[in-house]
Amino acid sequence: MSSAAASAALLKRQFKEMASGKEIVPGISCGIVDDNVYEWEVMLMLNDDMKLYGGGFFRARLSFPLDYPHMPPKMRFETPIFHPNIYPNGDVCISILHPPEEDRYGYESAAERWSPVQTPETILLSVISMLSSPNDESPANVEAAALWRENPAEFKKRVRKCVRDSLEME
């Protein structure tokens, strides 16, 4: 079996597990885009108990490379979201989605970066955790990180607007 066929088979199995109806990760719904197992549409329906983004419905896309699971997918929020670790264009910046190599800036250890034991499920759990606990030391959105640190009330106000807007979009 070629490596592309093996990665497609793995993704099909992982998708089937997540779509089985057994809510492995509560509040997450996934679908395959245009019968392409390498493109997943994800809906995060965040629990009201979450401090910041609770109650929001955020649509995202996971784009897997042909050499998955050896290399990480890319994740992009399609619903606008204001967060220190999400670029203004929606791209997610989280350690486990960085390639499995030494960080040339010395910020992350190789152990924090992508490894083939990660799954779509662990990625989404990590992103949900990131939403609750932003890392403002290495921001993708400098404005969000500055507000998170210097003006938490304004940061929370901007986040609540994102949540309201996400509900209107659905």
For domain 3-169, the CATH architecture is Roll (3.10)
Catalytic residue numbers?
93
Report the run of H or E that residue 12 belongs to, with start and end. Answer: helix 3-18
Q: Is the pTM of this model over 0.75?
A: yes
- What lies within 8 Å, CB to CB, of 42 at 6+ separation is 28, 29, 30, 59, 60, 61, 62, 75, 124
10-41 pLDDT, tens per residue? 999 999 988 876 656 778 889 999 999 999 99
Task: Give the domain ranges of the chain.
Answer: 3-169
The lowest-confidence range among 82-86, 102-106, 132-136 is 102-106
130-158 pLDDT, tens per residue? 999 998 888 999 999 999 999 999 999 99
Tokens of 112: 């924090």
